[in-house]
Amino acid sequence: MGIGGGIALIVIGAILAFGVRDSVDAIDLTTIGYICIGAGVLALILAIIINAQRSNTTHREVIDQRVGGTAQAAAPQAPQAPQAPQAPAAPVQQAPAQPVQPVQQPPQTPPPARGV
């Protein structure tokens, strides 16, 4: 229903309770107006509470790190004890790059002509 629906019920209830003086057999429009005002106030309060909860959210950012060719989620890590220095890793050798050969397309023949 939302905030607009609550305000609309309050307005309709106020019109029925305070503005209408007609009487209908077995229906009290003043009482119906007060009921609409109460329902509108309740709807308005609930809409405000729900909107306040909706805006009070937290967001968490997860950053994926690539380790050894697989993706792993980064988690907070506890401080580690210092380790002994390691020997430097050997450089990675790459194979020489091969030139790319262009692909040759076969010659295209024109489509046969249609006789008119």
pLDDT tens-digit series, residues 22-33: 878 888 889 999
Question: What confidence category does residue 44 fall into, taking pLDDT thresholds of 50, 70 and 90?
Answer: very high
Residue 116 pLDDT exceeds 70: no
48-74 average pLDDT score: 74
CA 77-79-85 angle, to 5 degrees, is: 115
pTM for this prediction: 0.47
Question: What is the reported pLDDT for 8?
Answer: 94
The C-alpha R_g of the chain, in whole angstroms, comes to 38
80-102 average pLDDT score: 69
d(CA 51, CA 12): 24
Residue 99 pLDDT exceeds 70: yes
Spell out the residues 6+ positions from residue 8 whose beta carbon is closer than 8 angstroms to its own.
Answer: 40
Question: What is the reported pLDDT for 15?
Answer: 94
Question: What is the reported pLDDT for 4?
Answer: 92
Q: Which of 39-53, 55-69, 73-87 has the highest mean pLDDT?
A: 39-53
Question: What is the reported pLDDT for 47?
Answer: 93
